[in-house]
Amino acid sequence: HWQRNWLQGEVLDQQLGYWTKQLASLPVAHSLPLDHPRPSIQTFVGTTYNSQIDVATSKKLNHLCQSQGATLFMGLHAAFSVLLSRYSSEKDIVVGSPIANREQAEVAGLIGFFVNTLVLRSDLSENPSFTSLLKQSKTMLLDAYAHQQVPFEQIVERLQPERSLSHSPLFQIMLVLQNNEQGILELPGLTLSPVEQRSVGIAKYDLTLNISENEQGLWLGWEYNIDLLEASTIARMANHFGLLLNDLVKAPNENVFKAEMLSAQERQQLLIDWNNTYTDYPNHKCIHELFETQVQNNAGAVAVVFEDQQLTYEQLNQKSNQLAHYLISERQVAPDTLVGICVERSLEMVVGMLAILKAGGAYVPLDPEYPEARLKYMLDDAKLTTVLTQSHLRETTPVTDQQAVCLDSEETEQQLQIQSTQNLNTNELGLTSAHLAYVIYTSGSTGTPKGVMIEHKGLVNTVTDNAHQFMVTSETIFLQSISLNFDAASWVIWMALARRAQLVIANEAVRLGDNVEAYINQARVTHLMMTPSSLAVLDPGNLTGLDVVIVGGEACHHGLVNRWQSGVVFYNAYGPTETSICSTMEKATPKGLSGIGKPIKNIQIYILNEQQNLSPQGIAGELHIGGIGLARGYLNRPDLTAEKFIVNPFYDKKNPASSERLYKTGDLVRWLPDGNLEFVGRIDHQVKIRGFRIELGEIENTLGKHESVKDVIVLARESVVKNDNRLVAYVVTDAIDLSEKSEISVTKRNEYIDSLRHHLSQALPDYMVPSAFVLLDQLPLTPNGKVERDKLPEPDISLQQHIYVAPRIETEKLLCEIWQDILGIERVGITDDFFQLGGHSLLATRLVARINRTLNISLPLQKLFLLRTVELLANELDVNNKLSGILLDSESALSADEIEVVI
């Protein structure tokens, strides 16, 4: 009675004003990595794991809090916020905490349960020290205590947060200290005996940390939802919290993100056990010397085939030697000299690459299909004085007369005829494995291409290891269908020629997808390397003789693996251009792929946070790569080189495979329990949708597991009508005939999209289910075989609608009009699904509010999640109206028993 009389008018406005400001733009849900998908309807099945903080650490924390005029709870809140931030990679951390709500003397002695809930928020965006974070917690908590009288429900009502049936509003993690300090609730009966695990019971939130002081220090009870988290995860988190707290109080003025939370055993596993990759390899050799060894062993074997032409190993060696001698004598090519190669797909392409290497130079691929402006930039940036090309390309490329060496001109052929066919001596040339093999230009984030400088030793290490893994032998026939400006093209060429295999160069028509399957069969190809997007358009049932399939360059989805691994050995290879093509690899098992595999020989993998601290198993961080394969850097870009190739804090002089630098990939990955790596997504592909942080790669991976999905890309696109970001899934499938436009085909398409939604809803929360699906025969690809995202079409929402059914009654008509306005759609039928038309929980809140205001009713938001069409919702409203009319009508002839039957 006192609270209701006091908490109104100006006092209520002031109290609510504080919470409105304090909780503005609050994250909708925490981003802790979950072991299981969040169910669409929140569950509360839980158990508790108990741990202990030792006396010494507890005393240090208490002393530190006292020195800052803070309470123990303030210190624990600050430390817990650091743990959650380290686990989630978020800087805006929100937890709830119960408050006794007995700050007035008048109520202090009353019997009763007055508990309220406070929403506590920490800002770690400035990378604070623990001392400064403790001060922040103190200030925030004192303000919260001063405004604790506002019931939690009123705060929710005022803020109108994104609502979901899958989690609680405002916060999903609770922190409780059981000692009655500063009004913090002392919860009776919650202290548990220090056992390892409590039997299954209730978890009120995703995670609740209950803390109490005892003679041994601090007792911690980790109550967690077993439908979301595994016991092993919580045990690991509890151990990390103890180690983290110890380090925070030991160095309270250090950056909290530099504090150590890994045990010695975990560091051993991450640094040594899972990076134990050193093996001997021909580190003194250049890549072309591996080819020359094969020439000695079997000179008459066919080395390279293009259409109806072919060269044996001996012929290829002699031709490339003649050109190499010419480049040295006439073009002054020496070690590290950059030489352009701008030729169409042909035997000359391979001859030219080999010749440049034999002369000591490094080849710079220049795709003649590239725009003239891009080619000119590359020519100028690399300062090329020599470019191997073909006569007919002189008119269509910016290669100058001074630069051009036309391999097909009569003049050049005459000059080459007088050159020696003997191998050049690397010692006499001063050429070593530390010199450049090639420079490949990749797209830059600023729009300006950047040249990646790769040395022989990195390329030799990759080729030696991968050729062994892929079982490349003299019986292998490798198809080369990749643009030379993609480093995988060099990968395929040197794997074949270094192992005496046969290399088949696909012509331009085949490379672009024309009759690929027939060509593969005709050429008797045994080994195929493609991007997942290129492979997705092929049918494995149409291919014969294929033994090994390798994908790389993009994320590989489970559906693609499942279609291809029957009858072939399937590999997923991962590696940026900056790390000599391939850094990790996984061979598919009958269960598919778990991720991107383990590091190849002489490569080290480190998953680090922003402060270059190791991320624990299961926690996503940026992938950093070290080892033999690291590029020298970016051509003419020392600033970018210094930014991307950082000092290796784990460099080990005693390990020959260890490197002094690491390459920052920009990829988010995490360690799996078996030491494999799981690809999470790109840092620059993280998006925020209505306050939720979303990894687009996670949605793609889940959709890729659908049996009929051949390939998929998910984008966040802005809705022009509502100025609202939404997720759009682009799905390649042959399960639906997309050329059909009949009503039956539209129904089938919608049923198929429904099956995709259902598939996603079994594994992902509702906010990660795309609001629109675009079905395609094939994704648009770049010349390198990667998805050209800019060319993906805008979704047509009308295609997501069912066959139009007009409203029949006044309620349906009114609801259709409201839906059209909220969704920004011209026409809504009564069988259309609100969420399939682009609706989401935030729009659902607006929709229900509009319905309630228009019809003067109190429809619960929950109803819309269950009754998703106008027809179902209108039927519900009409039934309720009839029932209300019966109950309110004093003239009703129904008896009490009859009313009960109606109810």
Q: What is the pLDDT of residues 181-237, one digit of tens each?
A: 444 443 333 333 333 444 568 999 999 999 999 889 999 999 999 999 999 999 999
Highest-confidence segment of 334-348, 431-445, 533-547, 548-562: 334-348
DSSP 1-52: -HHHHHSSHHHHHHHHHHHHHHTTT--SS--PPPSSPPPSS---EEEEEEEE
Enclosing H/E stretch for 730 = strand 724-732
Band of residue 889 on the pLDDT scale cut at 50, 70, 90: very low
Three-state SS letters, 238-284: HHHHHHHHHHHHHCCCCEHHHCCCCCHHHHHHHHCHHHCCCCCCCCC
Residue 255 DSSP symbol:
B
Q: How far is residue 335's CA from residue 330's CA, in Å, rounded to a whole number?
A: 15
Going by their DSSP bridges, the two strands 633-634 and 436-442 should be labelled as unpaired
Closest of 800, 859, 865 to residue 827, by C-alpha: 800
Report the DSSP pairing between strands 661-671 and 621-627.
Answer: antiparallel
What's the whole-model pTM score?
0.79
Residue 136 has pLDDT above 60, yes or no: yes
Q: How confident is the model at residue 48 (pLDDT cuts 50, 70, 90)?
A: very high
Considering the chain, what percentage of its residues have pLDDT values greater than 70?
Answer: 88
Q: What is the mean pLDDT of residues 733-758?
A: 83
Q: In the numeric block, which tokens belong to residue 523?
A: 């050429």
239 membership: H or E segment, kind and range:
helix 231-250
Whether the per-residue pLDDT at 895 is higher than 60: the answer is no
How much is the average pLDDT of 512-533? 88
Q: What average pLDDT does range 297-323 have in this prediction?
A: 96
Percent of the chain with pLDDT over 90: 57
Confidence tier at 832 by pLDDT (50, 70, 90): confident
The CA distance from 406 to 392, in Å, is 9
The count of residues in the chain is: 903
Lowest mean pLDDT among 150-159, 327-336, 525-534, 663-672: 150-159
Q: Name the token pair of 843.
A: 């729009």
pLDDT at 589 over 50: yes
CB count in 10 Å sphere of residue 859: 18
Rounded CA separation 688/767 (Å): 11
**Which range, of 369-383, 395-409, 863-877, averages the lowest pLDDT?**
863-877
Q: 610, 631, 604, 632: which is closest to 622 by C-alpha?
A: 610
pLDDT (0 to 100) of residue 888: 41
SS3 content of the chain, % helix, strand, coil (to 5): 40, 20, 40
For helices 810-823 and 870-888, angle between their N-to-C axes, nearest 10 degrees: 130
Q: What's the CA gap between 694 and 764, in Å, rounded?
A: 11
pLDDT at 188: 31
* For range 551-567, the mean pLDDT: 85
Q: How high is the pLDDT of residue 193?
A: 35
- Order the strands of the 45-53 sheet from edge to edge: 116-123, 92-99, 173-177, 207-214, 217-225, 45-53, 201-202
Q: What is the mean pLDDT of the chain?
A: 87
Q: Which of the 8 DSSP states describes residue 393? A: G
CA distance 593 to 587: 7
For the sheet with 302-306, list strands across it: 309-312, 302-306, 502-505, 477-480, 527-530, 548-551, 569-574, 584-587, 598-599
CA–CA distance, 164 with 309 (Å, rounded to integer): 64
Those residues whose C-beta lies under 8 Å from the C-beta of residue 848, and which sit 6 or more positions away, are 859, 860, 861, 863, 864
* pLDDT for 866: 77
User: What whole-number distance in Å separates Cα of residue 851 and Cα of residue 626?
Assistant: 59
> Residue 653 class from Cβ within 10 Å (0-12 exposed, 13-18 middle, 19+ buried)?
exposed
- Is-contact 596 583, C-beta < 8 A? no
Average pLDDT over residues 619-641: 96
Residue bearing tokens 């996603």: 760
- pLDDT exceeds cutoff 50 at 256: yes
What confidence score (pLDDT) does residue 569 get? 95
> Helical H runs in 474-557?
487-497, 508-511, 516-522, 532-535
Q: pLDDT value at position 697?
A: 77
Cβ–Cβ < 8 Å for 361, 338? yes
d(CA 68, CA 132): 10
